[in-house]
Chain A
Amino acid sequence: MVILETDHKVFMGLLETMLSESNAQYVFLVDKSGPQIAAAGDLEMDTTSLASLTAGAVAATEGLSSLIGETQFSTLFHEGAEHSLHISQVGEKAILLIIFDEKSSLGLVRLRTQQHLPALVDAVEEVVNRSQQDGRPSATISSAGFAEISDEDIDALFG
């Protein structure tokens, strides 16, 4: 998947709207293979681990759903004493994680998710489709000079 700056702006616009309208602490878009796509909110946390574990939880839930013959469980909810997590599938490739506390409620988070999810699905699909069309990722990588990467560049990574 290749995220361009224009994609990032679209994602951030949607996530920030969801953050404010749902009174959440953190809204987080994650690629299903584990990396973070975009995030809005000011909670101090290890976002890399959060993204990886969210992807793992969704992957495990997908495994469970296929075992019982469901196509997917579209939503996961974890209720904690202070913070709760609401996780939704965003199309085939991404996951939306919302962290909220007592300033919000499960009902409000679900409502805002239902309202904004279609736009988020469209935005992710546009990125995915572009990545799959006529070698565009290669083109963007090349245009950034990445194709000219040398063995020396790689060696330099290790100091």
Chain B
Amino acid sequence: MSFINYAAREINCKIVYYGPGLGGKTTNIQWIHEKTRADAKGKLISLATETERTLFFDFLPIELGTIRGFRMRFHLYTVPGQVFYDASRKLILKGVDGVVFVADSQEARMDANIEAVRNLNENLKEQGYDLATMPYALQLNKRDLPSAVALAELEKALRIKDEPIFEAVATTGEGVFDTLKSIIKLVLKDLKSR
């Protein structure tokens, strides 16, 4: 649910990075924070454990200029990927405008990827959303690892509709901004079409 404020002339949209634990959701947000110019970003907030696992969420507000006089503000959130934090994931999906699914390309994480897609679908439904119509991008992360599964196989297992798919190495920034740009475009097109 985007938030349009005519008094402040701004539009706020919420984008959630979803996916299995240790898949690179936080690394995506950290890279975006690091590479975005100071006047276009807010503070990166990470509610994490002592071992830097996401406990509740990471939050990064970014501002990408104006469209037709409205400041375009995007609130980027990650969810905790670990299976037992499901209650937190549901809460963070409230009011979501678009989802980036960050998949872990390693063979050993295929089951975790598939389970996380299933979990996303279920939690969106619980919040009254439909993944079939939700702006959605799929990022295949960790493409640099030797154990990475072939692209076609990942696509076959994880593609759920005609979503854009990006190969990424979030630790070096590869594919991070392409994914972000894509989901922002999808969210804005969705907003425009409503």
Contacts and interface: CB of A to CB of B under 8 A. Distances in A.
Contact of A52 (B45, B184, B185): B45
Interface string B1-33: 101111110011010000000000000000000
- Helix, strand, loop or mixed for chain A's interface? helix
- Candidate in A5, A38, A52, A159 with the most chain B CB atoms within 10 angstroms: A52
A48 B61 contact: yes
Chain A, interface size category, equals 35 or more
Contacts of A2: 4, 6
Contact of A157 (B47, B64, B96): B64
A72 interface: no
B68 to A, nearest CB: 5
B120 to A, nearest CB: 17
B97 to A, nearest CB: 9
A134 interface: no
Interface stretch (B104-112, B133-141, B154-162, B186-194): B186-194
B70 interface: yes
A52 B188 contact: no
- Helix, strand, loop or mixed for chain B's interface? mixed
B67 A154 contact: yes
A145 B1 CA distance: 19
Interface in A1-50: 1-5, 7-9, 31-35, 37-38, 46, 48-49
A141 B68 CA distance: 11
Contact of B3 (A31, A138, A151, A154): A31
B91 A60 contact: yes
B126 to A, nearest CB: 12
B87 A144 contact: no
A56 B92 CA distance: 8
A141 B185 contact: no
Given A34-B14, A157-B65, A49 B42 contact: yes
A52 B67 contact: no
Interface string A120-140: 000000000000000101101
B56 interface: yes
B72 interface: yes
Contacts of B125: none
Given A46-B43, A49-B43, A52-B45, A33 B3 contact: yes
